[in-house]
Every structure is written in C-alpha cells, then in structure tokens.
C-alpha cells in the first residue's frame, strides 16, 4: 500500500513558498484543493501567513471555446512574458467529467516548452463542480503563486460558457480568444460579455484565415464603438494574432501593459482589487455554509429520507428546502 504523504508544518509551507520552492508550492496548492477538514484548517493558516506577500502580480484571465488555440497561445504568450524578465504562473483549469469527476490534466503536455522553463510554474487543476470550469480554489492558488514570486499569473478556463463572470472576478485583465469565420461574428457581441472583456483576440490569423481575421477585427471594432466605456474607462480592444506562427503576440502584451498603466493611474486597478476581495469573502461564506450544511449527519439523513417524496413530486422541492434549512438552523442553535 502506498504510504500517505505527511502534512508539513505551517511554517515549512510558508518558508518554502516564500523561498520559491516549486515542490512546496505544489504541495501547498494540493493542500488547498483537499476536501478534508484538517487540510482546510492547515491551508487557512498557510494562506494567512503568505497573504501579505501576495497581490503584486498582473492577473490575466484567458478564455475561449475549445479549439480556439488557448494552449498554443498561452505557450507563445508565456514565453514572451518570460523573455521580458518576469516569472509566470499558469493556473489551467481542466474539464472534469460529471460522471467520474476525473479530468485530463494535460496542460503540461500541451505546453511542453513552457513547462520545461524553470521560470514558469504550470498547475493544471480539475474544474470539479465549479461553475463554468473555474476551479473552486483558484483564487487561493493564485495568492500562493504570487507569494512565491510569480509576478504574472495566467488563469486559463475551460471556455464552455457561464465562466466569464467568475474569471473577471479574480483577474485584472480579461482576454477572450476567438476564431474568424466560425459563424456570424457580430452574434458574439453581447453587452454582458463586452462589459467584462478587456480584449478580443482573433487567433489563427494565418494562411487562408488572414483575410477572414482582418474582416472580423473590423466588424468587432465597429460594433464595440456602439457601447459606452465601462467603469474603468477602458474601451475593449480587438487584436489578431497567429499563436502558431508567433505573430501579433507582442502587440497583445503591449496592450496589457498600457491597460495596467492606465488603470493604476486612474485608481481603478486597486478599486477593482478591493471589490474582488469583498466578493471573495461572500463567495467563501456561501461555500462554507453549504459545506457545513451537507456535512451535518442529521441533515444528510433527513435529505435521504425525503428523496422519494421529492422524486415522485409528492412534496415541493422549495418547501422541503426551507424545511431542511429550518431544521439545520434549529439544530446549530441548540
């Protein structure tokens, strides 16, 4: 039988993270992702200690539908960031099976060159049941990476819809990768996503796709002018690139640097971070309440006993939910 890996002392985790020890950093993230109560308590202690050393990175969310070329783009973009003298962490959220809960976790295979660089840290994590594929513990993992000295963090999402709000809620710059010629481009212009997107990047602008990519850029740019500037005062930019040929990547990085400079100058950068911290607190409250509710043995037994009534439609799901919550709060009050 394989011996269970022992937990380290909180001070060991903290020192290893602050020293930039990649192995300790990986173990700390594993600790954070654990569902065991004792691991959660230990992870909380570690986070509290490293928190003052975090927050100094540029956080960039990268999303797009499967097949848009996210991995190739991230590898080329990441190598550029490293060449600019930065340390890069890539938190790549892999899709989890809704049946087996397993995930592919193949990002290191898809980003071989980037993964081989000591200045880069790639952490594939299963999406689990988090909405839209954003790992439930991605925020905490990001803080650990920042404390370990990674001053640029990419968060790659599954890109299967509904994840944009969550991604925007944890990054400074949100980049949406798109393809030209995949349908009516203007159908992609929705007010909601434009309010969250800081840049639309049309990838695979090479070969026969060059003309279509340029046409899509014009259409998107014209459509964006119909929308008023968002709260940050930044108008989303449209760019084209070919990650395969490493063309147009430098322009995207310069755009992000320009964004960062403008946001820090007008005060929005820190205001956005402040709002995200508040949202994170509420997110954790919801997570902890749900966790405590379902871990209560009496509540679990009650849920199991009423399932036949719910399945048959004899009892209202809403009424039963209220009854269970009332029962839970009555129990913890006693």
| Segments making up each domain of the chain, as ranges | 1-53, 55-266, 280-333
pLDDT on residue 226: 78
- The per-residue pLDDT for 1 is 39
CATH topology of domain 55-266: Rossmann fold (3.40.50)
Q: Extract the residue ranges of the chain whose pLDDT is less than 70.
A: 1-5, 94-110, 126-136, 158-164, 181-192, 194
d(CA 74, CA 329) in angstroms, rounded, equals 47
The DSSP annotation for 98-109 comes to: TTT--B---HHH
Tell me what pLDDT residue 98 has: 38
1-53 CATH: 1.20.5.170
Question: d(Cα 327, Cα 318) in Å, to the nearest integer?
Answer: 14
Which ranges of 34-162 does DSSP label H, i.e. alpha helix? Answer: 37-50, 70-83, 107-110, 112-115, 138-147
Residue-wise pLDDT for 93-122, tens only, equals: 765 433 334 344 445 556 788 989 999 999
pLDDT at 247: 95
By percentage, how much of the chain surpasses pLDDT 70?
A: 84
Tens-place pLDDT, residues 161-170? 556 677 788 9
Bridging pattern class, strands 199-203 and 173-179: parallel
Q: Record the pTM.
A: 0.87
As a whole number, the mean pLDDT across the chain is: 85
CB 275 within 8 A of CB 168: no
Long-range contacts from 30-39, C-beta under 8 angstroms, 24+ separation: 31/7, 32/137, 32/140, 32/141, 32/144, 33/125, 33/135, 33/137, 33/141, 38/7, 39/7
Length of the chain: 334
Q: CA 21 → CA 196, 232, 292, 310, distances in Å?
A: 34, 36, 34, 51
CA–CA distance from 140 to each of 32, 48, 114, 136, 284 (Å)?
7, 11, 23, 9, 11
Q: In sequence order, what are the residues at sequence separation of 6 or more whose Cβ sits closer than 8 angstroms to the Cβ of residue 212? A: 180, 181
Q: Three-state DSSP class for 267?
A: coil
């Amino acid at each position: 039988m394989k011996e269970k890996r022992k937990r380290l002392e909180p001070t060991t985790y903290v020192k290893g993270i602050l020293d930039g020890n990649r192995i300790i950093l990986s173990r700390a993230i594993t600790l954070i992702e654990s569902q065991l109560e004792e691991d959660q308590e230990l992870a909380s202690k570690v986070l509290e200690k490293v928190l003052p050393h975090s927050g100094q990175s540029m956080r960039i969310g990268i999303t797009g539908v499967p097949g848009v070329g996210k991995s190739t783009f991230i590898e080329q973009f990441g190598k550029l960031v490293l060449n600019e003298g930065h340390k890069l962490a890539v938190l790549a959220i892999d899709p989890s099976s809704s049946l087996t809960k397993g995930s592919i976790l193949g990002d290191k295979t898809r980003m071989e060159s980037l993964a081989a660089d000591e200045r880069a840290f790639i952490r594939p994590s299963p999406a689990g049941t988090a909405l839209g594929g954003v790992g439930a513990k991605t925020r905490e993992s990001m803080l650990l990476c920042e404390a370990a000295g990674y001053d640029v963090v990419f968060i790659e999402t599954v890109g299967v819809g509904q994840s944009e709000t969550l991604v925007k809620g944890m990054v400074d710059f949100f980049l949406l990768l798109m393809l030209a010629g995949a349908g009516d481009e203007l159908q992609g212009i929705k007010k909601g996503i434009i309010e969250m997107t800081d840049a639309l990047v049309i990838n695979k602008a090479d070969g026969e796709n060059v003309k279509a990519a340029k046409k899509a850029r014009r259409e998107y740019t014209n459509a964006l002018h119909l929308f008023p500037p968002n709260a940050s005062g930044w108008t989303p930019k449209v760019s084209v690139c070919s990650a395969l040929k490493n063309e147009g990547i430098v322009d995207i990085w310069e755009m992000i640097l320009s964004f960062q400079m403008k946001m820090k100058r007008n005060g929005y950068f820190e205001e956005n971070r402040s709002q995200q911290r508040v949202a994170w607190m509420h997110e954790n409250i919801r997570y902890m309440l749900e966790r405590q509710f379902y871990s209560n043995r009496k509540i679990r037994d009650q849920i199991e006993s009423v399932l036949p009534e719910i399945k048959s439609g004899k009892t209202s799901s809403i009424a039963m939910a209220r009854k269970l919550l009332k029962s839970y709060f009555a129990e913890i009050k006693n």
